[in-house]
Structure 1
Amino acid sequence: MPKTDENEDTAVIYTDGACSGNPGPGGWGVYLKWGDHEKELYGSEKATTNNRMELMAAIQALEALKRPLPVVLYTDSSYVRNGILTWMNGWKRNGWVNAKKEPVKNADLWRRLDEAAARHEVDWRWVKGHSGDSGNERADKLAVQGRDEAAGRR
């Protein structure tokens, strides 16, 4: 995918997922910055997995954009970044079957992410989680808030 320089017309997005147990109550969080605008989004599910919440964060972030934009999307999930950049073309070519000839896990969300990403020019960047990156920390806090609400802790 093409690299996008961050400028005033580029949306900068941080996404994260959180889950207590796998499966268990989970949440996703998004911190989005575009020009002078900032937005925080989060949500939850009562019984889910961390990978599903990581995917949902990226989906919700891209679907929240009202028009096609260049996007720099930061994720601390190698699963999301590798899936979208490395594995997805093969999955689509093979009818959503993986290299082990098994159905792709979370194919419903991968398809939705593929559709959401197709509207934008996305530069997928990995950031180490819990390393002090302020955008990642904000997304993590939102994901934890969603997880805690799903677990009935708020």
Structure 2
Amino acid sequence: MDAVIILSAHGDAVGDPGAIGWAWIDHTDGHFDSGGAASGTENSAGLTAVLRAIEAHPGSEPLLVESGSQQAIRVAAEWLPSWKANGWRTSAGDVVPDADLVRALDDAVTARTGPVRFRHVRGHIDNPLHARARRLAELSAAEWSAGRGRLDSFLIGDMPPADDGGTARPAGAAPAANPAPAAADRRDSPASWESATLF
């Protein structure tokens, strides 16, 4: 079996609604990416972070996406399948919040040939990579709030130092197109969010 790719994803908003920032970082090699938008919510920021992390990692390797946003994790792992079966409506019959992002998230997970799991982590856990993702998302949100758009540099010097002395690196070129959708749904069940066995 391929090695598990573990990603920390974080979204941040300046106001709710307000400018948003998102970021993900790969625990294996420190690669990361970040961005934002002029308007959004805390929930859309968290969903965007998870979505961008998955989109940047097509392929067959097992993928574990961690986020401090319980809302984003519950959408991805628990609510999305029933919303989809219900015509993108909630159990109350309302239109799914952030429906475009939720549909894109479904497409990204389905397009991967490898499995995707999601895990909620507490927002202030003692994990330098999670802290880096949070800091990048905050910086991106601040840049968009100030009207400057995407960061011109990734401001490595402003990020928390890695315990192992490593340096995070921005992700390279845009990811290749996703492979054809797999036949089976690759999500985990809510019961496995905190499981020690990843795959």
**Is TM > 0.5 for Structure 1 vs Structure 2?**
yes
Match of residue 77, structure 1, among 69, 72, 75: 69
Q: Answer whether contact 1:15 1:73 (CA < 8 A) is retained.
A: yes
- Give unpaired runs (5+ residues) of structure 1: 1-6
Residue number in structure 1 paired with 2:9: 15
Indicate how the Cα distance of structure 1 residues 131 and 153 shifts in structure 2: closer, same or farther if over 3 A, else same. Answer: farther
Residue number in structure 1 paired with 2:129: 135
Q: Deviations over 1:85-107 (max 9, x none)?
A: 22111111110110121100111
Give the secondary structure class of the aligned counterpart of 2:83: helix
Q: Answer whether contact 1:127 1:136 (CA < 8 A) is retained.
A: no
- Give unpaired runs (5+ residues) of structure 2: 149-199
Shift of 1:26: 0.9
Q: Answer whether contact 2:77 2:117 (CA < 8 A) is retained.
A: no
Residue number in structure 1 paired with 2:193: none
Amino acid at match of 1:61: A
- Asked whether 1:145 is paired with 2:149, we answer no
When the two structures are aligned, how many residues end up with a matched partner? 146
Q: Distance in 2 between matches of 1:73 and 1:137?
A: 15
Greater fraction helix: 1
Match of residue 114, structure 1, among 106, 110, 115: 106
Q: Distance in 2 between matches of 1:100 and 1:28?
A: 30
- Where relative contact order (Cα < 8 A, 6+ residues apart) is larger, the structure is 1
Q: Answer whether contact 1:75 1:126 (CA < 8 A) is retained.
A: yes
Q: Answer whether contact 1:29 1:142 (CA < 8 A) is retained.
A: yes
Q: Answer whether contact 1:29 1:143 (CA < 8 A) is retained.
A: yes
Indicate how the Cα distance of structure 1 residues 97 and 66 shifts in structure 2: closer, same or farther if over 3 A, else same. Answer: closer
Greater fraction strand: 1
TM-score w.r.t. length of structure 2: 0.69
Q: Deviations over 1:50-97 (max 9, x none)?
A: 111111111111111242320111111111111122211111111011
What is the percentage of aligned positions where both structures have the same residue?
Answer: 29
Amino acid at match of 1:124: F
Compare CA radii of gyration and give the structure with the larger one: 2
Q: Distance in 1 between matches of 2:105 and 2:129?
A: 21
Give the secondary structure class of the aligned counterpart of 1:44: strand
Q: Cα RMSD (Å) of the superposition?
A: 1.7
